[in-house]
Structure 1
Amino acid sequence: MRVMFAASEAMPLVKTGGLADVVGALPKALAKCGVDVTVVLPKYGEIPKAIADAVTTIAIMEVQLGWRRQYCGIQEVTVDGVRFLLIDNEFYFKRGYLYGYGDEAERFAFFSFAVLEMLDKLEVMPDIIHCHDWQTGLIPFLLKTRYANRPGYRDIRTVYTIHNLQYQGVFSRELLQDLLATGDDSFTEDSLEFYGAASCMKAGIRFADKLSTVSNTYAYEIQTEAYGEKLDGVLRQRSHDLWGIINGIDTEVYDPMNDPHIAVPYRDSLAKKSQNKTALQQELGLPVDASVPMIGIVSRLTGQKGFDLIADILPTLLKDNLQLVVLGSGEPGIEDMLREALRIHPRKVALWFGFNEGLARRIYAASDMYLMPSRFEPCGLSQLIALRYRSVPIVRETGGLVDTVEPYNEFTGTGTGFTFGPPTSHDLLFTVRRALSFYGKPEQWATIVANGGKQDYGWDASARLYNKLYREVVS
């Protein structure tokens, strides 16, 4: 079976978040199931020079985008055994950042058209185009409308994966009508129309043959008004086509036994893990003391991630004997809150604003606990990485977090972390302090860590489910 992934980012070429990890790792796991995956991406200026210099141009064409006729190059490169096709247009993609520009609709409408126009240039058509998030939501719509009668296109099926329903690619109706050169019939309730505007995410949900999202619980949650981001009705209509498949992580990339970024390699040895904590304490200027519990956070600093709850409890929590290490960037108010905590408790708090892959790995390796009190979390990869690095997750019971972290039961000795339900600061503080109390009981703490070490974090089981989904969609 031939599957083409269409996405806006993928490791190891470009990354801003978990989407890149998924699109980079899943094709390798699918290959074990006999699925031949090609990944198509925009050719960003941020792609590492060694990879960009290795590309081969296989086609040059023009793409019609409304009244615009734009250059498009198709380039090919193989990285880590995965074939990548790059959509080359420097005007749209050779910029300082991947996202955040005023012409996002035009950039990714161009990308969607280019993906479909490119198929004629390939030796073999894909059986399935697997589209990821709003940036590719127009592809199923265009395939079912604009390209429906083009020879060779009719048998192509589409799968659309929702990685985060909050980001929908909503633009004015007039703008998308101009870019797509389409009539009023495409902007109805059953098509792209979204509360007077137009939604690329809705296009994918409406027109793809099958839908998936990144955990079983999130698949249920997004069909409710609380989590549905005004698309819950559409998702309920397509509930029979919606699969929840949990993400995995690349266990070769995230391996504390072979991680070049950390101080001391380890697997299950808490003594060696502790050496990584003292090394990080020294690196960040914290008091060096292996007995002090360290809580780590590597995250976007946004309300979705529960930082309002953290803000409520932080003054109280920092009175306890602990250290807090935070890596991330985001909302200015959250950054200011953390700076104030650092000012008051310079011996208990360490901050790094921005992203640093090496430091992120060292935080996972050093931290005893990993805090992730998200208000919603489609899947979450950080808790999986934390478990892989034997850092005990403290999470809210939502989305992929409840699907991957089993609450510790001191009576049965089962469980891999600590969880809480209601999104309140009281419940968060109680749960963090409960985790700290068990950290003070070495035998029970070792049991919790060992339980986490027995979990399967890889992609193989999920890849088998995607393979089953692909076979269902082509049948």
Structure 2
Amino acid sequence: MSNCKILYVCQEITPYLPESDMSVLCRTLSQNMQERGNEIRTFMPRYGLINERRNQLHEVIRLSGMNLIIDNNDHQLIIKVASIPAARVQIYFIDNEDYFHRKAIVRDENGVLFPDNDERAIFFARGVLETVKKLRWTPDVVHCHGWFSSIVPVYLRNLFADDPIFKKVKIVVSLYDDAFEGELDKKFKAKIQGEGVPKKYLDYLDDPTYENLMKFVINYADGVIFETPEPAAPIVDFLHEKKKPFLEFQDKTTAEYLDHYQAFYNKILANE
């Protein structure tokens, strides 16, 4: 089945950010799955280091202007779009002056994680899902890339679970070699709960490390894809314990590797 609707939620996409395993795959999947007859929407944060003029980003007024409340503070949601001409793929950008105007992705110039990364991830997730609702577009599959996108599955199975747009959606999570050291903000759990996420599984966030965050998110996923040949053993063990369908790491140098992604989507969609 190659005519499904796929929402890609990406931490990084080239050419807007430097090439990495994640940024290249997100672009490749968006282009290839569209060329196969699937209907695609792709989102990423509008980090401050993205050159808007060179990449021809422009604001979509009809989608912008909503205020999202996070930890009792209002933050304006701005939506921008750009196209990758060579790929004929449109990218939606989630923007906000408080969270995404700094000239970096998730770390400062000293390599230290931003202390508000938890809120930035929350805003990104809410922004993506609220925008998809405004588009009145009903995805069959939501495929999340990078830990920064990890709140999306949580919200899909809680805050947005009864929304007709997302009621039947299947969630796929890709696991990369993108672990961070240390923890997110200790109040992360309370912030998520304050957003309406019930206590189920929230104990994983008592210590919001990368490993615990991934375990938390896997609980809400319908399928998992390994984007690294050596994923962390505790996460793999957890995946087996939860009996979640998974796709092993695919050699990206082979001609047929994208066939496995399409087949995996079809497998997940067939599981009722």
TM-score range, shorter chain: 0.7 to 0.9
Do residues 468 (structure 1) and 263 (structure 2) align? yes
- C-alpha displacement of 1:53: 3.4
Q: Distance in 1 between matches of 2:71 and 2:104?
A: 25
Do residues 55 (structure 1) and 65 (structure 2) align? no
**2:94 aligned partner, one-letter code:** I
Q: Where does 1:38-53 land on structure 2 (aligned, <5 Å)? A: 38-53=41-56
Alignment TM-score, normalising by the size of structure 2: 0.83
**Stretches of structure 2 lacking an aligned partner (at least 5 in a row):** 108-113
Corresponding residue for residue 193 of structure 1: 203
Q: Which secondary structure state, in structure 1, belongs to the residue aligned with residue 163 of structure 2?
A: coil
Counterpart of 2:35 (choices 20, 24, 32) is: 32
The count of aligned residue pairs is 254
**Stretches of structure 1 lacking an aligned partner (at least 5 in a row):** 249-456
- C-alpha displacement of 1:84: 0.3
Q: Where does 1:335-346 land on structure 2 (aligned, <5 Å)? A: none
Cα displacement string for residues 141-164 of structure 1 (whole angstroms, at most 9, x for unaligned residues):
111111111232211221000012
- C-alpha displacement of 1:183: 7.2
- C-alpha displacement of 1:175: 2.7
Q: Highest Rg: 1 or 2?
A: 1
Corresponding residue for residue 68 of structure 1: 73
Identity %: 20
Contact 1:7 1:133 in 2 (8 A): yes
Corresponding residue for residue 11 of structure 2: 8
**1:176 aligned partner, one-letter code:** K
Counterpart of 2:98 (choices 85, 91, 102) is: 91
Give the number of the structure whose residues are more often helix, by fraction: 1
Q: Distance in 2 between matches of 1:163 and 1:238?
A: 19
Contact 2:44 2:92 in 1 (8 A): yes
Q: Distance in 2 between matches of 1:153 and 1:26?
A: 21
Instruction: Name the Cα RMSD after superposition.
Output: 2.5
Larger relative contact order (C-alpha < 8 A, sep ≥ 6)?
A: 2
Corresponding residue for residue 134 of structure 1: 147
**Cα pair distance change 1:207/1:173, threshold 3 Å:** farther
Q: Where does 1:341-380 land on structure 2 (aligned, <5 Å)? A: none
Corresponding residue for residue 110 of structure 2: none
Q: Distance in 2 between matches of 1:146 and 1:54?
A: 30
**Cα pair distance change 1:184/1:95, threshold 3 Å:** closer
Do residues 146 (structure 1) and 159 (structure 2) align? yes
**1:197 aligned partner, one-letter code:** D
Q: Which secondary structure state, in structure 2, belongs to the residue aligned with residue 5 of structure 1?
A: strand
Contact 1:130 1:159 in 2 (8 A): yes
Q: Where does 1:370-409 land on structure 2 (aligned, <5 Å)? A: none
Q: Which moved more, 1:30-39 or 1:110-119?
A: 30-39
Contact 1:35 1:467 in 2 (8 A): no
Alignment TM-score, normalising by the size of structure 1: 0.49
Do residues 238 (structure 1) and 242 (structure 2) align? yes
